[in-house]
Amino acid sequence: MIKVLFVCHGNICRSTMAEFVMKELVRQRGIADLFYIASAATSREEIGNDTHWGTKEKLREQGIPFTKRKAVQITKADYEAYDYVVGFDRENDYEIRRICGPDDDGKVYSLLSFAGLDREVADPWYTGNFDKTYEDVDMGCRALLAYILQNK
C-alpha cells in the first residue's frame, strides 16, 4: 500500500482539497485499493474542524466527492507511517520538519515540485481564491500520481 499524507497549516483548505482530489484520481484509475491517502495540519488552530466551506464548494463544483472530517495535527508517528508527506509552501515544509524531525528518509515533498515548479500553492484561507488553489492542487496531484506510478 502506498501511503500519502498531505499537510498544510490548518488541515481545512489545501490539504483536504488535495486529499479528496487524489482519492478521486486513484478511484478513476481503478487503483484506489493500492493507496491510503489522508491529510493533516502543522498547527493546532483548526483541530476538530471540518473542511472549509470554500474547499467543499470547489470540490462539489468539480464533481469530486468528499466526506465530513475533522482536522488533525501531524505527528512524528505520521512521518514514520507514510511514504509521501506532501506540503504546499515553505512554512509547511519547515513545520513538518520541526514536528517530525529531520527528513532522513526523504519523504517530505512540496506538491508543485512534482509538476516541475518551484513555487507555493497559495492558501485560499488568506487569498479567498479557491479556483487558483484548485488548479494548483489538481496539477500537483496528477503529477504526484504519475511520479508514484513511475517509481513504485
pLDDT tens track for 93-111: 999 999 999 999 999 999 9
33-38 long-range contacts, CB within 8 A, separation 24+ = 34/1, 34/2, 35/1, 35/2, 35/3, 35/4, 36/1, 36/2, 36/3, 36/4, 37/3, 37/4, 37/5, 37/6, 38/3, 38/4, 38/5, 38/6
123: annotated active-site residue: yes
Please determine, for residue 152, whether its predicted confidence score (pLDDT) is greater than 90.
Answer: no
Catalytic-role residue among 123, 136, 138, 141: 123
Share of the chain above pLDDT 90, in %: 99
Query: Cα 16–19–21 angle (5° rounding)?
Result: 105
Give the global pTM: 0.97
Domain boundaries, the chain: 2-151
Is 142 labeled as catalytic in the residue annotation? no
Active-site hit among 13, 14, 100, 141: 14
Instruction: List Cβ neighbours of 26 (8 Å cut-off, separation of 6 or more).
Output: 32, 34, 35, 37, 145
And the C-alpha cell for 83?
511514504
Structure confidence at residue 52 (pLDDT): 98
Would you call 14 a catalytic residue per the annotation?
A: yes
pLDDT in tens, 6-58: 999 999 999 999 999 999 999 999 999 999 999 999 999 999 999 999 999 99
Asked whether residue 127 carries a pLDDT value surpassing 90, the answer given is yes
pLDDT interval class at 83 (50, 70, 90): very high
Hunting for cell 515553505 — which residue is that?
90
Task: Lay out the sheet containing 84-87: strands in order across.
Answer: 35-41, 2-8, 84-87, 108-110
Fold that domain 2-151 belongs to in CATH: Rossmann fold (3.40.50)
